[in-house]
Structure 1
Amino acid sequence: MSNDAKHTGASSPQPASCKIGAGPHAAGGPAGKRPAPPCTLVIFGAGGDLTRRLLTPSLYNLSVDGLLDDGMRIIGVNHGERETKAWIDDLGQSLKQFAADKASESHGGRVDEKAWKWLSSRMTYMAGEFEADDVFDRLKERIDQSSHGNAIFYLAVGARFFKPIVERLGRHGLLKEDAQRKGCFRRLVIEKPFGTDLASARDLNAHILRFAAESQVYRIDHFLGKDTVQSVLAVRFANAMFEPVWRREYIDNVQITASETLGVEGRGKFYEQTGAFRDMVPNHLFQLLAMVALEPPNSFDAEAVRNKKAELFDAIEPLKPSDVVFGQYETGDAGVGYRDEPDVAQDSTTETYAAARVFIDNWRWAGVPFYLRTGKRMAARRTEIAVQLKRVPFLLFRGTPVEALTPNIFTLRIDPAHGTRFDFNVKVPGPAMQIGAVRSAFNYNDFFAERANVGYETLLYDCMLGDVTLFQRADSIESGWCAVDRVLHPEGGALPVYGYPAGGNGPVQADELLARDGRAWRPLQDAE
């Protein structure tokens, strides 16, 4: 990767659970966690799906766990006049429905009215357009009146509003941290998509950094809020059995899968502009890639971890079009085809499936292929990382009735199963030396209390604490887009998009991508 394709537009880096009805608001959090400092959380897009389905339940869960300070205030900004009470009532109804839907995971499926009252009493609705100066004048007045002066601005809006909102926050002095108030902070949370290619990501980073320091910007990827994603680092670095073999001498290949059984579910207009590759590969799947492949940091200090991630993204060899396969689901036993979905063009060539072969050009991983795949309307819902070790020499077993030894595969299961699995070989009982494949598995629920996870609790809490470990830095964002830019802008024209039946395993061309290397995808529906 050339130097001019990296680290532009960024300043120098600066040093969960969903427990519906779990109990009354407490003075302190679980496992000795302290409440976050007081702050005003401003949510742009307060009437949107993200606020209703994810942010509100996550804030509620933090309230139940006693992790929010009594000085917490929430201001929801959205276009359209409405009363604060009506906004809160709508969110409360959605929260109750969420609790009912998650009843099996959430201690009876009831909302803790005391915790919800505590949270909702701190919520205010503000009507206004995201590009209207008077909105920011009113916000400044309210925040300046608070005793703490701390504020987090959450952009739960479409990407077209990122620039105008950040610019107005900056011009109205809302991102300026008050040096006279010790510890006073102003932070900016931005959802993906963070650009649509390398050029747009550079442009967006440069614009944001005109008005905010890199240390104030929290680029959020909800995949990193999952406990099972964070546990990848713990599994790797807290166990002596793994780290010695976590390298090219012992690992044959790594497969990272994020498959869904759902289709676009009414998001056809968004998907037509995005597609599976942009939506998943340079962000979600690359984050999983970083967790499994980064070098050991000196500590779990935020910048130590993020520096190692940046090194890893820099080492990804730029993907070539021949490394990638696109697919689009067609009508099958599991449902209608993508082109028959609402707001989708009848001749759409948008991919709903993407597979890629990725190489990392460093000492640890040279020559080891990382196979990534993601798709909608697939045979199974599964997010996992499968690490396949190299086969042992067969010489010792050539006189036995075994044609080949099953490879050892260590699987980190992220969703919907939570845990790990290891496939290995043993002798089958009996007089003959016969080898059989067996499996050892660990499930989180067998050892730890079940805690349903919306996925945003940890991220919101960390943002309030100022812990940037799980958030993306500008240089890593740009390196990720740099690695895929040749696929997004191929010299020979757009990549072909191959069909696959709804409810299938993806297009056959994705199987051929691995077959060229003498390998095959892990089955999506193998036995648990």
Structure 2
Amino acid sequence: MSLSLQDLKKTPASIVIFGGFGDLSWRKLIPALYNLFIGGYLPENFTIFAMDYHGRTDAAYDKHMLEGINTFSRTGKADPEKWNIFKDRLDYFQGDFTVPDTFPRLKKALEDYDKQWGKRAIRVFYYSVSPGFIQMITEGLSKYKMANNPSKDRIVIEKPFGTDLASAQKLNKLLTKDFKEQQIYRIDHYLGKEVVQNILAFRFANHIFEPLWRSGEVDHIQISVAEDVSVGTRGKYYDNSGALRDMIQNHLLQLLSVIAMDRPKSYTAECIRDEKVKVLKSVRKIKPEEVVRAQYTAGTVDGNKQAAYIDEVNVARNSKTETFVALKLFIDNPRWKGVPFLLRTGKCMPKKSSLITIVFKPTPNKIFKDDTNSNRLYISIQPEQTINLIVDGKVPGIEMKLQPVNMDFTYNDSFCEPSPEAYETLLLDVLEGDTTLFIRDDQVETAWKIVMPILDYWKKTSSGLKKYAAGTEGPKASDQLAKSVGAKWALSSPNETPLLCEPRKDKP
């Protein structure tokens, strides 16, 4: 059972970040923890151990993390007074996972804080490290019994959760050998975004949408995650991964599960995760001809020249790794029988955008000659968090003329409170012991089972890799895939497109 915020504030917490000087800590974790601190969400007694194998000074660590907060915190530059209080809770811990005394020293440091606080603290062990260190850290924590209290100790794992089904199963076996599943928090930051969480509220708290959320009313659904960046410095990792592993297997299939799941029995972690697993298990085996893979060539993105993927640093010159994937899938259950789901992701596309589009079926027995049948629901995750419903409305005038109009729900306009960053939400949930937004072991394995037939097919053939110029929407084959179900890719949500007409001059 998760803690309430009131109970959490009275319960001390020790947060250990393995890889505490790394990029994730600098850009996301420490800024998120700082924002939680100034918002009054952290316990009265807490400390953050930032473990790093380099021999840095506390002052050097503090300076670097302050730069991260000033650069990446949604609240802007750190308040000097609040920063001075927060930095006293930062404990730079020099330690090498391969050195025998590292884990005993960490255990003593944790126990010293427990004695100081007069109470066994919640312990969060955040694996902000490459996958090769996971086993070493897990065995160290297990050997010295630092995470042996299932109700108080949490293990946080970042993706990738394996590189295929076999490695994912091996990782799950390793973790559950020493820890209970309830202790393990597999993090996907997309699930921490406000608009993604709001999908559940939108669907299950508003009765008007539930009758429409099914095959009889929905023509097709699109989930598109476009990136405007290249692989950058991640060439070595990415060339052994590719878009299917890096994005489809986790982010897009998790978004699919939220959109397509049936109503849970209650708003509890296990009921929600049960429904997500059920819908993923209902995904029909994807045929090779229902998948388009492609790789970017040289082009221009946002006015800047971009080299081809095979010319990136640490990428093989003859690489066949895909930087773009589009696929069509079906969910064989009563709710979604016959409804196509189109998933698409790619690098070096014109702009950064994550968009879910629900396209409804045409109005039966049309009585208006210019009925556009344009009913669509857009759920924009980034760059803006919005929900837009497109309906037909009458244009002012003496004639009955219809035009699509936009019913717009924008977070920043609808609520006074600013939206927290995804990592703020997720880290607070970890501290409270709420696993709702985290991925369970069977979710991971079921998602791998969906993509494995595609990966296995690609191993057998090097043909079929399309090309697309950087700065474009992907290969033509992707458009043809959408066209096969009578669809076109939605490139942006309505709030990002030009107005249908000029605003009235007399409108204030």
- TM-score between both structures, scaled by the size of structure 1: 0.87
Q: CA deviation at 1:376?
A: 1.3
Q: CA deviation at 1:287?
A: 1.2
Q: CA deviation at 1:426?
A: 2.7
Report what 2:84 is aligned to. Answer: 117
Distance 1:124 1:190 in 2: 21
Amino acid at match of 1:278: R
Counterpart secondary structure, 2:445: helix
Counterpart secondary structure, 1:488: helix
Per-residue CA distance 1:271-310 (angstroms, 9 max, x = gap)? 1121111111111111111111111112211111111111
Equivalences for 1:55-134 in 2 at 5 Å? 55-98=29-72, 106=75, 109-134=76-101
1:515 maps to which of 472, 483, 489? 483
Instruction: Identify unmatched segments of 5+ residues in structure 1.
Output: 1-13, 16-27
Distance 2:103 2:180 in 1: 19
State the identity %: 38
CA contact (8 A) 2:355 2:492 kept: no
Higher relative contact order (CA 8 A, sep 6+): 1
Q: CA deviation at 1:422?
A: 1.4
CA contact (8 A) 2:194 2:419 kept: no
> How many residue pairs end up in the alignment?
485
Amino acid at match of 1:86: A
CA contact (8 A) 1:131 1:168 kept: no
Equivalences for 1:67-216 in 2 at 5 Å? 67-98=41-72, 106=75, 109-145=76-112, 146=114, 147-177=119-149, 185-216=152-183
Task: Say yes or no: does 1:498 pair with 2:498.
Answer: no
CA contact (8 A) 1:36 1:464 kept: no
Q: CA deviation at 1:524?
A: 4.0
Cα gap change, 1:308 to 1:441, in 2 (>3 Å): same
Task: Say yes or no: does 1:347 pair with 2:347.
Answer: no
Report what 1:283 is aligned to. Answer: 250
Report what 1:45 is aligned to. Answer: 19
Cα gap change, 1:93 to 1:435, in 2 (>3 Å): closer
CA contact (8 A) 1:379 1:524 kept: no
Cα gap change, 1:254 to 1:45, in 2 (>3 Å): same
Per-residue CA distance 1:400-459 (angstroms, 9 max, x = gap)? 3x4x73331011111111111112223344555443222221211112136264320111
Report what 1:8 is aligned to. Answer: none
Task: Say yes or no: does 1:383 pair with 2:351.
Answer: no
Counterpart secondary structure, 1:195: coil
CA contact (8 A) 2:388 2:493 kept: no
Cα gap change, 1:47 to 1:156, in 2 (>3 Å): same
Task: Say yes or no: does 1:309 pair with 2:276.
Answer: yes
Distance 2:347 2:420 in 1: 22
CA contact (8 A) 2:48 2:91 kept: yes
Amino acid at match of 1:173: K
Distance 2:185 2:10 in 1: 16
Per-residue CA distance 1:333-359 (angstroms, 9 max, x = gap)? 323222232222222222111111121
Query: Larger deviation: 466-475 or 448-457?
Result: 448-457
Per-residue CA distance 1:379-398 (angstroms, 9 max, x = gap)? 2221121101111235534x
Amino acid at match of 1:330: T
CA contact (8 A) 2:9 2:44 kept: no
Distance 1:67 1:525 in 2: 33
Q: CA deviation at 1:154?
A: 0.4
Query: Larger deviation: 199-208 or 440-449?
Result: 440-449
CA contact (8 A) 1:412 1:420 kept: yes
Amino acid at match of 1:256: I
Cα gap change, 1:63 to 1:261, in 2 (>3 Å): same
Report what 1:11 is aligned to. Answer: none
Distance 2:415 2:69 in 1: 25
Equivalences for 1:389-408 in 2 at 5 Å? 389-393=360-364, 395-397=366-368, 400=369, 402=370, 405-408=372-375
Counterpart secondary structure, 1:396: coil
Distance 1:288 1:36 in 2: 35
Q: CA deviation at 1:150?
A: 2.5
Query: Larger deviation: 300-309 or 445-454?
Result: 445-454
Distance 1:216 1:316 in 2: 28
Q: CA deviation at 1:509?
A: 0.8
Distance 1:74 1:434 in 2: 62
Instruction: Identify unmatched segments of 5+ residues in structure 2.
Output: 499-508
Cα gap change, 1:165 to 1:495, in 2 (>3 Å): farther
Task: Say yes or no: does 1:462 pair with 2:433.
Answer: no
Cα gap change, 1:435 to 1:284, in 2 (>3 Å): same
Query: Larger deviation: 313-322 or 370-379?
Result: 313-322
CA contact (8 A) 2:294 2:325 kept: yes
Counterpart secondary structure, 1:133: coil
Amino acid at match of 1:150: I
Q: CA deviation at 1:208?
A: 1.1
Cα gap change, 1:387 to 1:495, in 2 (>3 Å): farther
CA contact (8 A) 1:325 1:509 kept: yes
Q: CA deviation at 1:496?
A: 2.5
Counterpart secondary structure, 1:69: coil
Distance 1:495 1:479 in 2: 27
Cα gap change, 1:525 to 1:71, in 2 (>3 Å): closer
Distance 2:239 2:23 in 1: 19
Counterpart secondary structure, 2:233: coil
Distance 2:202 2:82 in 1: 34
CA contact (8 A) 2:19 2:128 kept: yes
CA contact (8 A) 2:61 2:92 kept: yes
- TM-score between both structures, scaled by the size of structure 2: 0.90
Equivalences for 1:325-336 in 2 at 5 Å? 325-334=292-301, 335-336=305-306
Distance 1:318 1:199 in 2: 18
1:441 maps to which of 408, 432, 446? 408
Cα gap change, 1:277 to 1:240, in 2 (>3 Å): same
Cα gap change, 1:159 to 1:36, in 2 (>3 Å): farther
Distance 2:120 2:86 in 1: 18
Distance 2:257 2:223 in 1: 11
Q: CA deviation at 1:141?
A: 1.4
Cα gap change, 1:134 to 1:245, in 2 (>3 Å): same
CA contact (8 A) 2:354 2:381 kept: yes
Report what 2:335 is aligned to. Answer: 364
Equivalences for 1:449-488 in 2 at 5 Å? 449=416, 451=418, 453-488=420-455
Q: CA deviation at 1:224?
A: 1.1
Distance 1:437 1:122 in 2: 54
